[in-house]
Structure 1
Amino acid sequence: MPAHQLSLWPCGDAHAVFRLPGNGAYAAMSALCRLLQRGLLSGRPLCRLFPGQQDVCGVAPAVRSASSSSPVNLTYDVFDGKGESTPLVFLHGLFGSKSNFHSIAKSLVQRTGRKVLTVDARNHGNSPHNPVLTYEAMANDLKHLLAQLHIDKCILIGHSMGGKTAMTTALTQPALVERLVVVDISPAQSSTRTNFRYYIQAMQEMTISTDIPRSTARRMAEDQLRSLVKEHSVRQFLLTNLVEQNGHYAWRVNLEAISAHLDDIMSFPNFDTGYEGPTLFLGGASSAYISSDDYPEIQRLFPNADIQYIPDASHWIHADKPLDFISSIISFLQS
């Protein structure tokens, strides 16, 4: 994991904070949190393979666009456990990818024996691009993927934007979700007063020479982002999405769709009925993304929810405190 420094607001409800066993192995991520209210970015993707891990990757369709009215074929990685228990499915945040949870997935396979899937959302990673980017559409994509893989029931674990997709899936397709873990986000409506549109604008306006080394392309891209993206850590995070295709450099994320649906991403759909299954809202004690103001809506939609906080963790709990994050999931599975 990258070592960044995150600046976050203190958690307002110290009485709700509890201490999990173990200790974190990674430094906190950078100042993204104060820039993006309500936490919609995922941690920076990991780019490494794990020796000895039986790893099966879903292959992205050759065509990266799809009809807006139908689900897209999501790319995914499978970490194949030997046990027969319900599989775990991880959903990343905005501008993230399925690689974000690879190290977590490997550990959970080893400790639980369960199969673990990590999934690229539409318009992210290697999944197809589509002009629609709503939580209803992303939940429908996930339902389609699970049907393709003959998975009748799963345990959904979603971080930030992925947490909202997981909640939407549980609320619309409760039979698919045996248990739900929502990582540092809530079903509350989110503010859109961020600098995020400036970041998207800077990425859209970027031009990079062709047939140059990747390191040179990254430097050129960072220089062009600097005028609208002041923080070095934010630029480095965005640059994880810069890819080379036949000598040309482009963003692998669908900036047009993200820009057009930013209000949808920052918000959350309205639901009249709740999800009755066991649910864990897991927040960082140094993060304000799950606050006491959100508790009534959490209780209304998820009446069997437990709200817990990991001390000294920011919005990127899995990066800051991976051992505590894993322990909290395992405890929840055993409860």
Structure 2
Amino acid sequence: MSALCRLIQRALPGGGACRRLFPGQQQPVCGAALTVRTASSSSPVNLTYDVFDGKGESTPLVFLHGLFGSKSNFHSIAKSLVQRTGRKVLTVDARNHGNSPHSPELTYEAMAGDLKHLLAQLHIEKCVLIGHSMGGKTAMTMAITQPGLVERLVVVDISPAQTTTRTNFRYYIQALQKVKISSDIPRSTARRMAEDQLRSLVKEHSVRQFLLTNLVEQNGHYAWRVNLSAISEHLDKLMSFPSFDTVYEGPTLFLGGASSAYISSDDYPEIQRLFPMADIQYIPDASHWIHADKPLDFISSISSFLQS
């Protein structure tokens, strides 16, 4: 089993003490036969999140997951950082992901607006923002547009550059849309059925397992909890990055996987333009999912950055 699979299994709901924003609410899923909460396209959505309480008074850490991910992806990391730093840690579901509401709008400006709304709800005046992939672009957008809310910024294996040529997400969307699962069958059977159908388009076992964390059941029906239609419609925007003339001057760490192509030397000039205080580091033998491949190195890098 890959490190990614192990981390995902440890991070599935129920894997630790945490508080949830909407206790007891129905699990949102996509599909005509299933219940889903939908937000208007013009206003921020109420994001779901988990809190891992630390005893220290330092600025809290806020983790933002990548495309097709959820707040659960960072549970193990969050617990370790609470123990190591004493800080409160939040892991957040983006709109159209996890347990957060669905919306037809899916842009980095909108997702940054959701996060600003959440911080205001929680009376958090400043945070250390840590975003992976899509979450990294949301974090960069937030830092540039709302610098007063971001004390420090960590961008995990992504850059403010076009990433279309480096991804297979369009294939993943097509694969998920083609999956058909019978109703009223055991979850284990439904999961095997979904994986069998994904195998032809998604070759990597670890990626299939990651995508399968989005399979949910409600009233005997199975579907994907991510909003595939919104993701598909906005994928080009998600693979790009908004244009900004302003910069974020706070301490910034770009943390790349040495085996990943998501942060290349071609991206350095734009990183330095938008984030003049940026430090760029790579973790050896890590892929795009650094936090899954090398969790101890990932935690150490963030801890060192917090102390610098």
With structure 2 as the length reference, what TM-score do the two structures score? 0.91
Structure 2 residues without counterparts, runs of 5 or longer: 27-35
After superposition, the Cα gap between the structure-2 partners of 1:184 and 1:57, relative to the gap in structure 1 and judged at 3 Å, is same
Q: Deviations over 1:293-334 (max 9, x none)?
A: 111000000001111111222211111111111111111111
**1:236 aligned residue (209, 217, 220):** 209
What is the Cα deviation at residue 264 of structure 1? 0.7
More helix by share: 2
Aligned pair 1:165/2:138, yes or no?
yes
Equivalent runs, 1:279-290 vs 2, <5 Å: 279-290=252-263
Match of 2:58 in 1: 85
Match of 2:279 in 1: 306
**In the alignment, is the contact (CA less than 8 A) between 1:192 and 1:263 conserved in 2?**
no
Aligned pair 1:324/2:297, yes or no?
yes
After superposition, the Cα gap between the structure-2 partners of 1:103 and 1:144, relative to the gap in structure 1 and judged at 3 Å, is same
SS in structure 2 of the partner of residue 111 of structure 1: helix
Distance of 1:310 and 1:259 partners within structure 2: 31
Match of 2:12 in 1: 47
Q: Which stretch has the larger CA shift, 55-64 or 276-285?
A: 55-64
What is the Cα deviation at residue 71 of structure 1? 0.4
Taking only aligned residues, the RMSD between alpha carbons, in angstroms, comes to 1.9
What is the Cα deviation at residue 50 of structure 1? 5.4
What is the Cα deviation at residue 217 of structure 1? 1.1
AA aligned to 2:135 is G
**In the alignment, is the contact (CA less than 8 A) between 2:166 and 2:261 conserved in 1?**
no
Aligned pair 1:198/2:171, yes or no?
yes
After superposition, the Cα gap between the structure-2 partners of 1:91 and 1:217, relative to the gap in structure 1 and judged at 3 Å, is same
Q: Which stretch has the larger CA shift, 205-214 or 149-158?
A: 205-214
Distance of 1:147 and 1:225 partners within structure 2: 40
What is the Cα deviation at residue 203 of structure 1? 1.7
After superposition, the Cα gap between the structure-2 partners of 1:218 and 1:293, relative to the gap in structure 1 and judged at 3 Å, is same
**1:274 aligned residue (247, 252, 261):** 247
Q: Deviations over 1:160-188 (max 9, x none)?
A: 11000000000110000000000111111
Percent identity at matched positions?
84
Match of 1:178 in 2: 151
What is the Cα deviation at residue 228 of structure 1? 3.2
AA aligned to 1:322 is P
Structure 1 residues without counterparts, runs of 5 or longer: 5-26, 31-42
What is the Cα deviation at residue 236 of structure 1? 2.5
**In the alignment, is the contact (CA less than 8 A) between 1:226 and 1:235 conserved in 2?**
yes
Distance of 2:176 and 2:288 partners within structure 1: 24
Q: Which stretch has the larger CA shift, 201-210 or 162-171?
A: 201-210
AA aligned to 1:47 is L
After superposition, the Cα gap between the structure-2 partners of 1:171 and 1:244, relative to the gap in structure 1 and judged at 3 Å, is same
What is the Cα deviation at residue 209 of structure 1? 1.4
Match of 1:141 in 2: 114
Distance of 1:307 and 1:329 partners within structure 2: 12
Distance of 1:58 and 1:168 partners within structure 2: 24
Aligned pair 1:58/2:21, yes or no?
yes
What is the Cα deviation at residue 195 of structure 1? 4.2
